[in-house]
Chains A and B, each alone.
Chain A
């Protein structure tokens, strides 16, 4: 799995256009969640999200925390509420990003979350806790639980995962748009990557290009021998080759890509990069409805042979959507690394979305290629095309 330097604030464009993403969409999602709550006999659900991992919270509310985190309280019936770790002056802006009317501010989400649950009559209730990103800070959750000694808590971390697994047409449209922007950013990046430039200067150029296109967030890792997050310590000037990982969030949804820029005429490196692209294409051929998720790994092993271990260093594949890393995962180990309870699915379905990537090392240089795909009835389709 690829982790980038997580920014302290999501500082890209932050808007919600209800004409594009209508409120009714969230009502149908809410109904589906409530059906599951009823099945589990839950009186309420507490969903935690932060600017690092916001998928479940955003799925129901359209809100994504810009900094810190917050909870959504979902009763079995009636209005849902959000309690966010923001200042009271930030509430009007927060409301521009969500259809939820009851948005509250607190810097004590645990203690005030307990008060909110009491206010809604859940002092002795059975409450499910969804924290699939495992971000709910320990002191806060301890405070919340301590203030509600008669609540029966149920860990519901994976509860929304099945609902998010197969994307709707609207979600796919959002992801294709993220992919389109990413394709343009990848193309533009080529103009910035020149021998002799400092790595962080190129990162700045790519970041600017993405921000000017209105993305909500971006992750960049790059390097000659390995992927590094932006750091003033990574001040090397690039030579004749550079590998880069890019992920952008647009309208809440992520798309990712990996590219290698070969500035010399080195045929061996160029051939290795071509091979990486061919292997990703071969693996992508396994992305078909009713195909086994395990076929992704099997194909990669077959294609890569002795290079499998190196090539899968950054993970060969994972689901992508509201989260950079979501189901389906290839292995339990991959799932655990991002706090997910399981691989999520063993069989692919139409409209699932996955990121694929392959890494080679050739003459001490890293070759990296990756792309994001949707599973269609006729096979894999790149979100960047």
Chain B
């Protein structure tokens, strides 16, 4: 704030905690709000104040965050005119235009977009965050195990998803971005339907539990019954891509190196035309709350990989012979290379 000449920072969150973007208030306070309006006011010199709605959630905020001064959001409006000097604003992505206009009017000036301050701080995970991420990874592995143990023909797709989620919630997961689908030829991952699972189905999953606001993701593929030889053959391309992607994840290297390594694997196997949407999206991505850095793993992303960054590498791919197949691990960048946080085997799981 001093470097940018800011006298105060307004940090906003709309109660839509998401792994696809940063929750700046949660990052600074360790409190995940549920109401529509949460504003952390950080003066340069004084103690921060957390304003939030609904008021009934204030005791939880006091208990879960380190901020001692927590007040109803309506009091923010009387505090706002007294905030003097240059004001920075963080959280425009989750704010609506009406609220923004009211704030500008009360301040009498347009606050400076200051999200870089927090995003730069959060690029590399701290030991505190990594401990939660490692716990989340254990939970994700448990979710995969549950699916392997309990998936069977006759269940509905949404019951498969519930199996995974149940195991993870039983271990403390707060949320899950979970897509588990089954078909003989999956077009893509999607939220569960009521389709009844059949023998021979390929079950693909993208499982993303949250612990303490931090998400990890794991992608795996299983088959109910002996897979067709072509499935094993094509899945081997994903495994090779995963290995090469991991090897390309070197500290200091650009994120695009990972995408290039994975794409190269598919190109070598004759699938150059499939290395683009809708057959795949990206070869991995950051996982939010703390930070979305390094962003999406794609050719154009030249962000340098830094020690402590966490992201998923996933060579998920639609192939014409098999449909969509999934494999991916969340990794943390170490001194020189990436370390997977997951323990589940990369092999395709065959459920007899």
Contact = CB atoms under 8 A, between A and B. Distances in A.
Interface string B56-71: 1101100010000000
Contacts of A337: 35-36, 53-54
B318 interface: yes
B7 interface: no
Contact of A11 (B32, B35, B176, B211): B176
A52 B16 contact: yes
Contacts of B302: none
A215 to B, nearest CB: 9
Interface string A100-140: 00000000000000000000000000000001001111110
A208 B176 CA distance: 13
A256 to B, nearest CB: 15
B194 interface: yes
B119 interface: no
B127 interface: no
A226 B59 contact: yes
Contact of A136 (B96, B159, B281): B96
A137 B178 CA distance: 24
Given A3-B54, A338-B36, A11 B191 contact: yes
Interface residues of B, number: 64
Nearest to B101: A138
Interface in A60-77: 66-68
B17 interface: yes
Interface stretch (A38-46, A181-189, A196-204): A196-204
A204 B169 contact: yes
Interface in A195-236: 200-201, 203-205, 207-208, 211-212, 214, 226-233, 235
Give the most central of A9, A10, A92, A212: most B CB within 10 Å: A9
A14 B166 contact: no
A133 to B, nearest CB: 9
B162 A208 contact: yes
B64 to A, nearest CB: 6
Contacts of B20: 8, 67-68
B188 A89 contact: yes
B94 A231 contact: no
Interface string A260-285: 00000000000000000000000000
Interface centre among A12, A89, A201, A337 (most CB of B within 10 A): A89
Nearest to A314: B56
A122 B176 CA distance: 40
A205 B281 CA distance: 34
B174 A88 contact: no
Contact of B18 (A4, A8, A208): A8
A31 interface: no
Contacts of A230: 169, 174-175
Nearest to B318: A89
Contacts of B173: 232
Contacts of A67: 18, 20, 177
A142 B194 CA distance: 39
Interface-centre pick from B156, B174, B210 (highest chain A CB count, 10 A): B174
Contacts of B212: 232-233
A212 B159 contact: yes
Contacts of B188: 87, 89-90, 92-93
B27 to A, nearest CB: 16
Interface in A1-32: 1-15
Contacts of B271: none
Contact of A6 (B15, B169, B179): B15
Given A10-B191, A13-B194, A207-B169, A89 B277 contact: yes
Q: Which of B162, B166, B188, B210 has the most CB of A within 10 A?
A: B162
A11 to B, nearest CB: 5
Contacts of A228: 60
Nearest to A85: B20
A339 interface: yes
A214 B14 CA distance: 28
B158 interface: yes
A231 B36 CA distance: 18
A314 B161 CA distance: 32
B190 A88 contact: no
Centre residue among B32, B53, B56, B64 by max chain A CB count within 10 A: B56
A345 interface: no
B34 interface: yes
Contacts of A8: 17-20, 175-177, 208, 210, 215
Given A6-B34, A9-B177, A235-B172, A227 B56 contact: yes
A156 interface: no
B233 interface: no
B158 A13 contact: yes
A131 B318 CA distance: 36
Interface in B297-340: 318
A141 B191 CA distance: 27
A90 B245 CA distance: 25
B165 interface: yes
Interface in A133-156: 134-139, 141-142
A93 B190 contact: yes
Interface in B67-99: 92-99
The 8 tightest CB contacts between A and B, nearest first, are A204-B169, A89-B278, A211-B162, A93-B190, A134-B96, A232-B172, A13-B158, A208-B166
17 contacts: A9-B178, A11-B177, A13-B158, A52-B15, A87-B278, A88-B277, A96-B193, A131-B96, A137-B96, A138-B96, A139-B93, A207-B166, A208-B166, A231-B64, A232-B172, A337-B36, A337-B53
Given A11-B176, A92-B188, A232-B174, 11 more contacts: A5-B174, A7-B176, A8-B175, A13-B192, A50-B16, A52-B15, A93-B188, A212-B162, A226-B60, A231-B174, A314-B54
Interface of A: 1-15, 50, 52, 66-68, 87-93, 96, 131, 134-139, 141-142, 200-201, 203-205, 207-208, 211-212, 214, 226-233, 235, 313-314, 337-339
